[in-house]
Structure 1
Amino acid sequence: MSEVEPSMKLDLERIIFIGRTFEEYMDMFSLSTDDLKEKKILDCPAGACSFTANGNHVGLNITACDIAYYHRGIDLKNKGHQDIEHAMTHMKLANNNYVWDYFKDIEALRSQRLRALNDCSADMIINKERYIPVTLPTLPFQSGEFDVILSAHFLFMYGDRLDYNFHLATLNELIRVTRNEIRIFPLVTLEGKRYEYLDQLKEIVKEKGYSVEEKVVSYEFQKNANSMMIIKKF
């Protein structure tokens, strides 16, 4: 696979390297390990999530990709620790924007974010080939290479920074490289509002002949962020 030009890569200071745990992924996407056995899975973009590390540890076949992976693992780990502490400070100021059921308090949240970062960082050192640097909306994978693609906390959340054309191009690329299914979580912006072009994107996907479903999940941390979109090609 070919790398993008250096000018297209984000400076490390512009990357927020925070991730979710394997258990969070299973809850936010309403999955079990049995659902994913014998399937080739892509986490895109994966950031500092431990889904790839822990999933492969229990016998799943998961690849992670993210623009952050152009940087060294040790630099990302250090950045991740800084970002977690910054995020925890923000949480204290915006406490009412979150539902404190999944995590009982900020210390519990910090503990899980650190666990995800440490598990991811350790796996990146041992199994570097699982962590592929990419620059969306382009992916360096073959058409239909993956059975399942999971995409968390990226598309739709940054609707104020990433325009409609970027969302459409990225969605088309995810559709290209999956053989069967895509799950995207959540369906709201950072402000907790439904992404304004979501229905328009859904109609485009349906016109291509694929099924689209919105499904409420049990996981809710950010208020109103408790639904995912499932796209199936067959």
Structure 2
Amino acid sequence: MSKVEQSTKLDLERIVFIGRTFEEYLDMFSLSKEELEGKKILDCPAGACSFTAVGNKSGLDVTACDIAYDHAGEALKNKGLQDIEHAMKHMRKAQNNYKWDYFRDIEGLRRNRLSALEECTTDMEKARGRYIPVTLPSLPFQNEEFEILLSAHFLFMYADRLDYQFHIDTLNELLRVTKEEVRIFPLVDLEGKRYEHLDQIKSYLTDSGFIIEEVKVPYEFQTNANSMLKIKKDKI
């Protein structure tokens, strides 16, 4: 087993393998396909999202990375199917914490999550090299290897288990491998509250010479999760 494999291996039962669709990504990050054309893009961490699969089919250059990708696609698909069903049961109890404009109802959400999982795992079998196993806050990429990096539903969301220093270390690494900008969605924790150290993080990034902007986006499923953080590498 290689050093990379040793560092990224995580028991499959500890991984939640659920993802969003390409269309959700465009809305979450307030992007159009045209804005991404000609760019080298990293989705980190990507989970079971279909952004890489659909993006590359559409002519984009997208790479995905995630701690889950050490496992075989078939195992991940089976885990994803289990996780979706578990999440839908939980959703019925917590649906008042969500807005149902985007998916209409739980069954619509379920179809969406299944579609993302199918696209992701099918593409993983065909183009495994696009799906890189990683363990944040370390990435196996060159400095400024990607123009744009998108990071969804990881940083800020898990404030109860990822401490402030982990956020700083991860942000520094995301910015290291990115040439133009990093976008992070959402800016709330699992309870829908604004990440408590967000202003401190913004000050740290501004002091480091980056251009920071909070942007409202045309997507809100979890209540209050309707903004992203845009970090531009252009020096002030």
TM-score band w.r.t. shorter chain: over 0.9
TM-score (norm 2): 0.97
Q: Is the 8 A contact 1:4 1:135 kept in 2?
A: no
Deviation at 1:7, TM superposition (A): 6.4
Instruction: Report the counterpart of residue 70 of structure 2 in structure 1.
Output: 70
- SS of the counterpart of 1:123? helix
Cα RMSD after superposing both structures:
1.0
For residue 97 of structure 2, what is the aligned residue in structure 1?
97
Alpha-carbon distance in structure 1 between the residues aligned to 2:52 and 2:6: 26
The secondary structure found in structure 2 opposite 1:94 is helix
For residue 221 of structure 1, report the CA deviation from its aligned partner. 0.1
* Structure 1 residue matching 2:121: 3-state secondary structure: helix
> Partners in 2 of 1:168 and 1:84 — Cα distance?
31
C-alpha distance in structure 1 between counterparts of 2:44 and 2:171, whole Å: 11
Q: What does residue 183 of structure 2 align with?
A: 183
Partner of 1:54: 54
Deviation, 1:17, is 0.1
SS in 2 for 1:139: coil
C-alpha displacement of 1:8: 5.5
Inter-CA distance 189–219: structure 2 relative to 1 (3 Å threshold):
same
* 8 Å contact kept, 1:22–1:50: yes
**1:145 is aligned to 2:137:** no
Q: Give the Cα–Cα distance (whole angstroms) in 1 for the partners of residues 39 and 33 of structure 2.
A: 10
Residue 199 of structure 2 is aligned to residue 199 of structure 1: yes
Give the aligned partner of residue 81 of structure 1.
Answer: 81
User: Does structure 2 retain, via aligned residues, the 8 Å contact 1:215–1:230?
Assistant: yes
Any conservation in 2 of the 1:52–1:62 contact (CA below 8 Å)? yes
- Preserved CA contact (<8 Å) 1:175 1:182: yes
Q: Does 1:36 align with 2:36?
A: yes
> Partners of 1:232 and 1:30 in 2: how far apart?
15
Structure 2: unaligned runs, 5 residues or longer: none
Taking a change above 3 Å as real, the CA distance of residues 212 and 63 of structure 1, as seen in their structure-2 partners, is: same
Runs of 4+ residues over 2 Å off in structure 1: 2-9
CA distance in 2 between counterparts of 1:92 and 1:131 reads: 32
Q: Secondary structure at the match of 1:192?
A: coil
User: What letter corresponds to residue 226 of structure 2 in structure 1?
Assistant: N
SS in 1 for 2:101: coil
The alignment status of 1:126 with 2:157, answered yes or no, reads no
CA distance in 2, matches of 1:208, 1:170: 15
Aligned equivalents of 2:7 and 2:34: distance in 1? 42
TM (normalized to structure 1)?
A: 0.98
- Measured after TM superposition, the shift of residue 4 of structure 1 is 3.4
| Residue number in structure 2 paired with 1:214 | 214
After superposition, the C-alpha distances for 1:141-161 in whole angstroms (9 at most, x for unaligned) are 000000000000000000001
Q: Distance in 2 between matches of 1:9 and 1:201?
A: 29
> Structure 2 CA distance, aligned partners of 1:177 and 1:7?
19
| CA–CA distance in structure 1, aligned partners of residues 148 and 35 of structure 2 | 10
Q: Secondary structure of 2:168's partner?
A: helix
SS in 1 for 2:230: strand
SS of the equivalent of 1:27 reads helix
| Identity score, percent | 69
- The number of residues matched between the two structures is 233
